[in-house]
Each structure stands twice: as structure tokens, then as C-alpha cells.
A = this chain, B = another copy of it.
């Protein structure tokens, strides 16, 4: 029966490309139109077949990690590309609908992140060995989407671009007090202090990040202007001229959106500006991929713009600009994955093969979610007073660090 259901599911799903599946009983079936990508998959256990019916997204990742299925030439990219390309065009089968409905109904539970649980969620991911992050991130350890102003920017350059683009949106003047919610290993805070003369308070719940960021501030001679705190952002109580939060909102969860933006508003001076940078989904409210939720980001959720804006509006913040980055994160993740694969032996030495397969599935699946499944990045520029930012956005594209003045003259002459 389970084999028949999986057969039915794949017949429904795979219309483009070619998937050849070997079932645990040795039988083979081919799906699709015979085109590319063409991928062979062998499912070795009956339990894997059952899991693929009941919770396909989780089961696929777990089977890849645990050897419950193997892919010809280990072509995970081909398999995920094939599945995502087809999925975006196909609806759910009848037995999948109640399961999806149940997941939506229960999503608030998975995203209930009071202070204690938020701390455990963060420790799960960010307190992994610092050495792991060195294996795939840039040298500044920017663990969020880079900004490829030019297609041939390196990852290092694109991460610099990102920080300066955000700094321009914040219109920072020397001496301003800035709160960095979810400061990571401190790269953004150090840049705002060093290059823009800001006084920055960065908060993180990760002990590992806090230790690294604090050490970096000291080494850079910026300890008098940058302070990192190991605390929940909800426990901060001062006022700030500017608030920046990059790649942290994904951990907040819909039940806490109003609490998040209320804290942004309450911590912001009347003429303050905030810049919230987050992954976004373009297909409306949904649920978190269960593999990501279980293994990578417990408590996490990628917002639809309508969900974030509903909370922003109710907390009486004004969105003064919303930029949407598409494909920048696909490029970022492609770079991360390439670096990770280049360092795979070191990764195996720190963890084990199962961990490496989990991490590969996460990075590759995320890259393809941006390339093929409508994931994007939102940058919400927010203010309490709509006059806090200039009347046009020209200031963002003027005197930019990249392209240089010479390059702009060249463009202008074209």
C-alpha cells in the first residue's frame, strides 16, 4: 500500500525532468517527461517509503542523512531541483491536505519562543563549534544574505556591500547610539562603529557569538564604542537613534511579531530609524519546512510580507522603504556550499559524515528555495516619524562605496 501511495504521489508531482525510483522490493518506476534533470534514486527501507508519504520534506532530508535512500552520483542538487521545479506547479494530493492543514494549525506551537526557549533554540544552532562556521562563511562571519552589486563580486565583497547598504539606509551620523538585535559574531556592529562612528550595543543569545564578538571588539580597539551583551533583545531597556537587525527576525515566530516590533518602537527615539533584514516568503503565510525546524532552526519561521506588515502597522511603525532581494541569497548559499565542500574533510573531523550530509542538505536546499521556490530577502526600513528619512531614495544610490565615483561617471556617460 505505501509503495502504491508513493507511486501515486510521484506520478502527480513529477511532470518535468526524469526521476527513476527503485523501491525497497527492487521494483523500478520512472516518472516525468524524460527531460533534464534526470536522477536515479534508490529507497532502501520500507519505513522510508512510509515516512515519505506522511511527511515528505522531513523524510527526504532524514533519509538522505541516514542512508535510507541513495541518489545516483550523489546528485542531491539534481534531485532537489527536480522536486522543487515540479512542486511549484502542482497542488497537494487529497491525503496531504489535512496534514498541511494540521501543520498550519499547529504552527503557533512550534513558534512559541519565550525567552528561555529562544535561548535554547539559539544554542542549538549558533553554539556549534566556531570552527564549523569558518569552514563556509566569509572572513567577517556574515551569516546572512550578501549583496551582489555586481555579478562578479566575491562573497567577501558582497558581504561588505551588504553592511554598507544597510548603513546607508540607517543614515548613521557619528556619535549615534545603535542597537543591533541579533548581532552574530559582531561584524555589522564593528563596521558601524569603525566606519560610521556609531556607538553600538549588540545583543545575542549565543555564548559562542558573544565571546567571539567581544574579543573582536577588543582586538579592533573598538571596545569603548561597541558593547556586546549576552541577553534577549526583549530585555534591553535604553533608547537608541538607530536599530539594526539582520537575519534575526526568522527566529521570532508569528506569535511574537507584535512583541518584536513593539520593542523596536519602544527602543527607538522619536526621530529614529530601524532596518530589519529578514528572509521572506512570497507565497503568503505558510509553515516552516519540517527538516529545517527539526535539525537547523528550531522555532524558526520565514515571514510573508503581509504577516510582518500587519504587525508593523499595529505597532504604529511606518515602513518607509521595503527592498526585496531575489537571488542574492541563492548566490550567497552557493558560495557557502562550495566553501563547505572544499573543507569537507575538516568538517568530518569536527563532526561526522551524518552531520556533513545534514549540513549539505540544509545549504543546498536553502539555495534552491531562493532559486526556484520564491524565497527572498526583505529589508524593512522603519521609522516612528515619516519625516525621519529623505523624501526620495536617491541617497541610497549616491556616493556608494561600490560602484566607485569613476564607475558612476562611466554609467552616466553610457
A322 to B323, alpha carbons, bound, how many Å?
6
CB proximity to B under 8 Å, residues A371-412? 374, 376, 386-387, 391-394, 396-399, 405, 408-409, 411-412
| Residues in A146-171 with C-beta less than 8 Å from chain B | 147-149, 151
Closest Cβ of chain B to A141, distance in Å, is 24
Question: With the chains together, A282 CA to B383 CA distance in Å?
Answer: 11
A309 interface neighbour in B305, B320, B323, B399, Cβ under 8 Å: B305
Closest to A320 in B: B324
A306 within 8 A of B: yes
- Which B residues touch A283, using CB under 8 A? 313, 316
C-alpha gap A397/B149 in the complex (Å)? 14
Contacts of A195 in B (CB 8 A): none
Closest residue of chain B to A311 (Cβ to Cβ) is B306
Once A398-B412, A399-B412, A399-B414 are accepted as A-B contacts, the answer to whether A318 and B326 lie under 8 Å apart by CB is yes
Chain B residue contacts of A386, Cβ below 8 A: 282, 326-327, 374, 376
Q: Say which residue of B147, B149, B284, B394 sits within 8 Å of A310 (CB atoms).
A: B284
* A326 to B391 Cα, complex, angstroms: 7
Chief secondary structure at chain A's binding surface: mixed
Chain B residues near A151: list those with CB within 8 A: 391
The number of residues on chain A lying at the interface, defined by a beta carbon within 8 Å of a beta carbon of chain B, is 47
* Residue picked from A148, A320, A413, A414, most chain B C-beta under 10 Å: A320
Instruction: Knowing A399-B411, A408-B412 are in contact, say whether A318-B376 is a contact too (CB < 8 A).
Output: yes
Report the bound CA distance from A398 to B403 in whole Å: 12
Cβ contacts A295-313/B at 8 Å (1 or 0 each): 0000000001111011001
* Residue contact B318 to A321, C-beta cutoff 8 Å: no
Interface residues of A in 285-341 (CB under 8 A from B): 285, 304-307, 309-310, 313-314, 316, 318-328
A309 surroundings in chain B (CB, below 8 A): 304-306, 309
Q: How far apart are the CA atoms of A326 and B273 in the complex, in Å? A: 15
C-alpha gap A325/B392 in the complex (Å): 8
How near does chain B come to A91, taking the closest CB pair, in angstroms? 12
Compute how far the CA of A304 lies from the CA of B413 in the bound complex, rounded to whole angstroms: 40
Q: Beyond A391-B326, A393-B397, is A282–B408 a contact (Cβ under 8 Å)?
A: no
With both chains docked as a complex, state the minimum distance between the C-beta of A140 and any C-beta of chain B, in angstroms: 21
Residues of chain B with a CB closer than 8 A to A284's CB: 310, 313-314
Q: Closest 5 CB pairs between A and B?
A: A284-B313, A397-B397, A322-B322, A306-B309, A306-B310
Q: What are 16 pairs between A and B in contact, CB < 8 Å?
A: A151-B391, A282-B318, A282-B386, A284-B310, A285-B313, A304-B310, A320-B326, A321-B322, A326-B387, A326-B391, A327-B391, A376-B386, A393-B396, A397-B397, A398-B412, A405-B413
Other CB < 8 Å A-B pairs besides A282-B319, A305-B322, A320-B326, 7 of them? A148-B391, A306-B313, A319-B324, A321-B323, A396-B397, A399-B414, A405-B412
